[in-house]
Amino acid sequence: MTLKATILDDLKKAMLAKDVLTRDTLRMVKAELMNLEIAENRDATDEDVLTVLARAVKTRTDSIAQYEEGGRPDAAEAERQEITVVERYLPKKLDEAALRAAVEGLISELGLSGKKDMGRVMKELKSRHGAAIDGRTASKLAGELLG
């Protein structure tokens, strides 16, 4: 079963169970996938689904910061709950130690040195680990190790 099919199946289950949070969050994901399919004029692949899910988490994370700045902890909490629903479908993120080891391994394997190679490290890291990495943390670590 594809990731998209799993999400649609879980949406149906959430509707039957009257799970409002899961239902609404998965409807948002479904809408984003439909928009992507219309724009690309093709069915969404699992990679496309992971991209949409990662973008949803990033958007909500940014919203949390804005809500907290604006003194709206209730809205920030709602965004956190939506993130937990979306993260069910994302691969487990590498912790900082594992991410550091992956970056160090890539740097030595590819023989890279200096900040000018930052793009190569990030590109290779994304291709090998995909959604399992946190881009901000990976970028910070790569900068430290290459600098």
79 and 139 share one domain? no
Domain tally for the chain?
2
17-62 per-position pLDDT tens digit: 999 999 999 999 999 999 999 999 999 998 899 889 989 999 999 9
- Last residue within a domain, chosen from 59, 87, 115: 87
pLDDT at residue 131 above 80?
no
pTM of the model: 0.74
Tell me, what DSSP letter sits at residue 92? P
pLDDT in tens, 63-93: 999 999 999 999 999 999 999 999 999 888 8
Measure the CA–CA gap between 10 and 16, rounded to whole angstroms: 10
Same domain, 76 and 105: no
Assess whether 71 and 45 both reside in one domain.
yes
User: What integer pLDDT is reported at residue 47 of this predicted model?
Assistant: 87
Predicted confidence at residue 72, as pLDDT, reads 94
Give the per-residue pLDDT at 52: 92
CATH number at residue 47: 1.10.1510.10
d(C-alpha 55, C-alpha 123), whole Å:
17
Shared domain check, 79 and 128? no
Q: Are residues 58 and 122 in the same domain?
A: no
Structural domain boundaries enclosing 76:
3-87
Among candidate residues 98, 69, 67, the one with its CA nearest the CA of residue 82: 67
Q: First and final CA of the chain: distance in angstroms?
A: 44
One domain for residues 68 and 103: no
* 102/76 same-domain check: no
> Which CATH number is 109's domain given?
1.10.10.410
Region class of 2: left (phi > 0), else alpha (psi between -120 and 50), else beta: beta
Last residue of a domain, one of 87, 104, 131: 87
